[in-house]
């Protein structure tokens, strides 16, 4: 078990969410499920936590109750190598959720994700500030990020 594990607070959807997330990402699995015992906040036998792994990163989902909700103050950033991966993850994670600007979305559980093509970091850090600014302006017009359009903006071509 890693020293630091991200804990995600759900009302009652911890197991459902963990199963969903592990179905979306390759190299993912449920590691352990723990249950409430007698005298807990929920009936004995109800799922308390689910420890799961998404592509090598360990998370815990907790059925803690309705007191806390996810906000955009924290998000999970997924580095994507190409448009196919961006498209696939965007489609799966935004289903039942909401699409946001600049590669951000909220999934069906309200958790925020950033679906980020790795090439975007290179384009935004171009030593030519004009090219970098064109990329930033193009990105600000997008919900799901379009790598080809970002590259066209970088080169100064038509953004459409």
Mean pLDDT by 10 residues, the chain (160 residues): 93 98 97 94 94 97 96 96 98 98 98 98 97 97 98 82
Domain count, the chain: 2
Residue 39: per-residue pLDDT:
87
- Identify whether residues 76 and 147 lie together within a single domain: yes
User: pTM value?
Assistant: 0.92
| Closest of 80, 91, 20 to residue 50, by C-alpha | 20
| Closest of 55, 52, 60, 59 to residue 80, by C-alpha | 55
Domain holding 105, by residue range, is 70-160
| Run of H or E residues at 151 | helix 147-155
- Identify whether residues 77 and 155 lie together within a single domain: yes
């Amino acid at each position: 078990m890693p020293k630091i594990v991200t804990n995600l607070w759900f009302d009652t959807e911890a197991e459902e969410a963990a199963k969903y997330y592990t179905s979306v990402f390759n190299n993912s699995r449920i590691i352990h499920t723990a249950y409430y015992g007698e005298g807990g906040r929920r009936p004995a036998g109800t799922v308390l936590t689910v420890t799961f792994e998404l592509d090598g990163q360990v998370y815990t989902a907790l059925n803690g109750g309705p007191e806390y909700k996810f906000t955009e103050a924290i998000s999970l950033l997924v580095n994507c190598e190409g448009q196919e991966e961006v498209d696939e993850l965007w489609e799966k994670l935004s289903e039942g959720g909401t699409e946001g600007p600049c590669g951000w979305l909220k999934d069906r559980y309200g958790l925020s994700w950033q679906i980020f093509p790795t090439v975007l970091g290179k384009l935004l850090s171009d030593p030519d500030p004009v090219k970098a600014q064109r990329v930033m302006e193009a990105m600000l017009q997008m919900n799901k990020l379009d790598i080809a359009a970002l590259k066209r903006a970088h080169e100064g071509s038509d953004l459409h």
